[in-house]
Chain A
Amino acid sequence: MSSLALPDKALATAVQGLPENALAANRQAALARFLERGFPTTRLEDWKYTDLAAVADISQRWLENGAPLPSAESVGARVAEIRAAIDIDWIVISNGVITDGLDNGAIEGLSIATFSELDLAPGYDHPLADLNAALLPDGLHIRVHANTAHERPLGLLIADGSDSQPGVAQSRIFIELEEGSRAQFVEYHASIGEADHYANSVVELSLARGASADYVRVQGRDSRHTQTHRTAITLRDSSTVRYSGFDLGGRLIRNDLDIDIAGREATALVGGLYIAGDGQHVDNHVRIDHRVGPARSEQEYRGILGGRCRCVWNGKTIVQPGADGTDAEQSNHNLLLSERSEIDAKPELEIYADEVKCSHGTTVGQLDDTALFYLRSRGLDKQDAMRALTRAFGASIVSHSPIALLTDHLKETVEQRLSTLTDGDDA
């Protein structure tokens, strides 16, 4: 087989089985597009290191079972845990279904609706976005009214998984920040359950002139589960996005972050931290497209790898013809705690304009022996010293994450993740 396809009929039946709403026609169109292309394969440059065979396999088994939508109850415990840990207003999408929304009007200056209510068709040209649109029960639309400022973050919790049989869940969120508005979002991906699971999500963020968004994405999936996730951000004149992504769990994770700089004086500040241990594959692809200038983008990703795992970072910055005055920086630093860890890091700069300032830097290394000896010479045992240095490596991403209210939770979660990583692997 030349591509990772899914059986046409079973997929069509699954699409048929979804709740009847305004999305129905669009699902059929998206299904046709997906069937034409199938899942992206490793023959594509962008997918060279990430093989979706496991994802296709889970999807296939899910289809064979009659494509059930697992119940929301199966993820209830995990949802409760996150609600208890982070005290903000949450909208919960359980196994692809918006189960716990906020009433429209619950927050002044914010409109919350489903795609079907607005008769909105999910778009975005990509096979995985097509698969998402074909199988999507409904999408979530959030509109931040012009010139309103929201100091309290809004939580978007995507929770899925099941104990009994392979599951597949789609979720889609569209956030529109109108002119001069300001808001903060926490997007949390979590999963629970014994059975294999594949979650596929698309989040779109559109910032109008002068709008500003602080955005933190946390991926804390179960180590058995898989995810493909695409975020597309469009920035108009003088808008600013501060975005941080944390990948702490999952078996096979692929995140695509596309930032379209479509306005002058726009700013995109992106940070990312991925921590992977035995059996994990975590791939972050970031593409920042400077279409006009002057504008500024910065991205710094850090990775901590222990045990037999593989991570991928691909940071691509494109400066289009005429985007003069672009200031773009990208960096990626990796700490390999084990000889069995592998990182494929690829910075890319494509510059077609003259008046630009661009830089990139990538490093891959081990813990610094000199620092390790220094800490041990003060009485810290080797394990503690290693843990302190490992934690320190990721600390800048945590402390620069844009939502202060979340910092303590992130510190704790990262700490927990690292303790299992360094305890299990002393290579």
Chain B
Amino acid sequence: MLEIKDLKVRTGDTPILNGLSLSVKAGEVHAIMGPNGSGKSTLAQVIAGHEDYVVTGGSVEYRGKDLLQLEPEERAREGIFLGFQYPVEIPGVNNAYLLKAALNAKRRHQGLDEIDAFEFLKLAKEKMALLGMDPKFLNRGVNEGFSGGEKKRNEILQMAMLEPELAILDETDSGLDIDALKAVAHGVNALRSPDRAIVLVTHYQRLLDYVEPDVVHVLSSGQILRSGDKSLALELEEKGYDWVREAANA
């Protein structure tokens, strides 16, 4: 589904990704772990199409297409979803408007009719119930005055509504209390299917107790140093990131 080969990215004059390769297949859940500043968030942002990051080498293929040629909105309509580490507050743009506009943009792209108001509301309320969200959030500004946990739940709500083929969740687990973490995990697990892939970018292995990954990667200095199964996450938790770096240098 996603083929990243030797990807090199910089922002300004600073190189961040230095030849990163990653292959994600449909049906898989990958976890990308690594210390702060290792390039985890950059990778997520580059896949979503953020313009601040300049790709200087390598390639990213998504379902056989050259992803780097697509605008951010085209990527979204093609089924890519980025759960932001810091969801943006947008006062004055209401949540319902965004959800509906996003959903309809994707439906139009797929050649489907736009969803009607009744169906939309029904779907939104159903997904909100799943995530333990008050339907009142629909009429509030996007993330406006939301707590950290509410913002993350809102990201998962958008994901649940859009049903992406490839979901990348950038530290969606950070700063969550246990209830919010479980709600997020529940949303992610509900999306798991043989047709979809999920990439969890995370600093801690905590989320992985609830969402079991198929593959775990360790990212450091803009490269994947090591990949393994879920036991790698546990080993990291125990031994710290220095262990991987030392092992790689040895």
Q: Which of A's residues lie within 8 Å of B, judged by CB? A: 368, 370-371, 373-382, 384-385, 388-389, 391-396
Contact = CB atoms under 8 A, between A and B. Distances in A.
Contacts of B49: 376-377
Contacts of B142: 374
Interface stretch (B26-34, B91-99, B117-125, B174-182): B91-99
Contact of A382 (B73, B76, B101): B73
B91 A377 contact: no
A379 B76 contact: yes
Contacts of A394: 92
B92 A371 contact: no
B92 A395 contact: yes
A377 B51 CA distance: 11
B101 A393 contact: no
Given A374-B142, A378-B73, A379-B76, 16 more contacts: A373-B50, A374-B84, A375-B93, A376-B76, A377-B72, A377-B73, A377-B76, A378-B105, A378-B158, A379-B77, A379-B106, A379-B109, A382-B73, A389-B90, A389-B93, A395-B92
B72 A396 contact: no
Contacts of A389: 90, 93
A393 B92 contact: yes
Contacts of A373: 50-51, 72
Contacts of A392: 90-93, 141
B169 interface: no
B92 A377 contact: no
A78 to B, nearest CB: 30
Interface string B52-81: 000000000000000000011101110000
Given A373-B72, A388-B97, A389-B93, A380 B88 contact: no
Nearest to A373: B50
18 contacts: A371-B88, A377-B48, A378-B73, A378-B98, A378-B101, A378-B102, A378-B105, A378-B162, A379-B73, A380-B73, A381-B71, A381-B73, A385-B73, A391-B92, A392-B91, A392-B141, A394-B92, A396-B92
Contact of B88 (A370, A384, A395, A396): A370
A76 to B, nearest CB: 37
Nearest to B108: A379
B76 A378 contact: yes
B92 A374 contact: no
B19 interface: no
B92 A375 contact: no
Contacts, number: 76
B51 A375 contact: no
A377 B98 contact: no
Contacts of A391: 92-93
Contacts of B51: 373
A312 to B, nearest CB: 24
Contacts of A378: 73, 76, 98, 101-102, 105, 158, 162
Contacts of B76: 376-379
Interface string B183-226: 00000000000000000000000000000000000000000000
B15 interface: no
B139 to A, nearest CB: 12
Interface in B138-172: 141-142, 158, 162
B43 interface: no
B87 interface: yes
B71 A376 contact: yes
A382 B71 contact: yes
B106 A388 contact: no
A376 B49 CA distance: 9
Most chain B CB neighbours (cut-off 10 Å) among A375, A377, A381, A384: A377
B82 interface: yes
Contacts of B109: 379
Nearest to A391: B92
Nearest to A381: B73
B105 A380 contact: yes
Contact of B105 (A370, A374, A379): A379
Given A379-B102, A380-B105, A374 B73 contact: no
Nearest to B45: A373
B167 to A, nearest CB: 12
Nearest to B88: A374
A186 B163 CA distance: 47
A368 B84 CA distance: 16
B103 to A, nearest CB: 8
